[in-house]
């Protein structure tokens, strides 16, 4: 049995990862300041002797030092997330992502602990070569657009982690998460699928931003957690960067239509301009499609859950919540 530390462990993905690791017989400690995570996400683990939680900020160096010294592997998922939050709180986004990751890496180096760093498909920026591959060049928008602060901060996280690997041989693994969805995801900061499902179940307008022709690939959280775990046990993954996501591409308008159909909703699908929903000059990706050939080659992982199955899981969860 190993002991895993999950930063951001009360979040959507972190809580599912904690459940999976404990189900596999591991001990898990999570740390989360509950800025976007929720203690309710961990309800299934309450009272489990293999689970511990620290409600604290990852920038608390004293707490992080103790937790890292006690664990065998670190899953660093804590970050400022969500397009709406990134636009509204750019200082917190940059300081949390870069400062938090720096503290995790410095402490991991002190105790020589394997560290998996969660990055994002946002780092591909305005890329026009599809599907996105880990070695592609990237192009971001101007610094006057807050939209790009998240991508830039996560790129710095990647550079820093790889620098620790190169200079100190710290065993690090970076995984770039594409759109991940499933039960327990909050729509609080613009996450589109739970927002669509909730609107449809309530008979409220389903708000699609832009022209609706922008496309995404939505990966099921259970598949994504399997990918993360597979990387943690692979010696060949150390020092590398991996995409994790689904290859099933859908436009946001098509997604809204699927949600409406699968909920048997009478909701109106309404187009709203980006600048009205976010901020003037907001820039979005037209497509975001991952190549997962590398992780399949190294670990054998590939997604198995369809988008329709995922939507149905979210509908069932949201009905319980409602």
Residue 54: half-sphere exposure toward Cβ, Cα within 13 Å: 19
C-alpha span between 98 and 237 (Å, rounded): 23
Q: What are the tokens at 91? A: 């200082």
* Catalytic residue flag (residue 150): yes
Length of the chain in terms of residues written: 322
Catalytic residue among 111, 124, 150, 164: 150
Alpha helices in the chain (DSSP H): 12-23, 61-70, 83-88, 90-94, 100-111, 149-168, 192-202, 221-232, 252-262, 274-277, 293-299, 307-321
DSSP designation for 95: I
DSSP designation for 208: E
C-alpha span between 115 and 76 (Å, rounded): 7
| CA 103 to mean position of chain CA atoms | 20
Q: Which residues, including other chains, have CB under 8 Å from residue 141's CB and lie 6 or more apart? A: 125, 126, 147, 148, 283
Alpha helices in 24-176 (DSSP H): 61-70, 83-88, 90-94, 100-111, 149-168
Element at 114 (helix H, strand E)? strand 114-120
CA-based nearest residue to 262, from 296, 307, 217: 307
DSSP designation for 267: P
How many helices (H) and strands (E) the chain has is answered by 12, 13
Positions marked catalytic: 150
């Amino acid at each position: 049995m190993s002991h895993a530390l999950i930063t951001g462990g009360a979040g959507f993905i972190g809580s599912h990862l904690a459940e999976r690791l404990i189900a596999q017989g591991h001990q898990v400690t999570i740390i989360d300041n509950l800025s976007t995570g929720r203690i309710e996400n961990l309800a299934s683990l309450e009272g489990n002797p293999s689970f511990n939680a620290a409600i604290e900020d990852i920038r608390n160096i004293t707490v992080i030092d103790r937790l890292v010294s006690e664990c065998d592997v670190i899953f660093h998922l804590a970050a400022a997330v969500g397009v709406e939050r990134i636009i509204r709180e750019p200082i917190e986004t940059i300081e949390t992502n870069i400062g938090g990751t720096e503290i995790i890496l410095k402490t991991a180096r002190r105790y020589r602990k394997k560290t998996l760093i969660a990055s994002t498909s946002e780092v591909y920026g305005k890329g026009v070569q599809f599907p996105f591959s880990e070695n592609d060049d990237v192009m971001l928008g101007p610094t006057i657009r807050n939209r790009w602060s998240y991508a830039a901060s996560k790129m710095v996280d990647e550079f820093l982690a790889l620098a620790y690997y190169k200079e100190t041989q710290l065993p690090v693994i970076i995984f770039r998460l594409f759109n991940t969805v499933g039960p327990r995801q909050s729509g609080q900061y613009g996450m589109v699928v739970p927002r669509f499902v909730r609107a449809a179940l309530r008979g409220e307008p389903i708000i699609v931003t832009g022209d609706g022709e922008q496309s995404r690939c939505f990966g099921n959280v259970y598949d994504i957690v399997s990918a993360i775990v597979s990387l943690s046990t692979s010696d060949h993954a150390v020092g590398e960067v991996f995409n994790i996501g689904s290859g099933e591409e859908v436009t946001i308008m098509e997604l809204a239509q699927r949600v409406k159909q699968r909920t048997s909703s009478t909701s109106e699908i309404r187009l709203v301009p980006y600048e009205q929903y976010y901020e003037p000059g907001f820039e979005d990706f037209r497509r975001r499609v991952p190549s997962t050939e590398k992780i399949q080659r190294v670990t054998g992982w590939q997604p198995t859950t369809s988008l329709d199955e995922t939507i149905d899981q979210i509908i069932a969860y949201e009905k319980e919540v409602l």
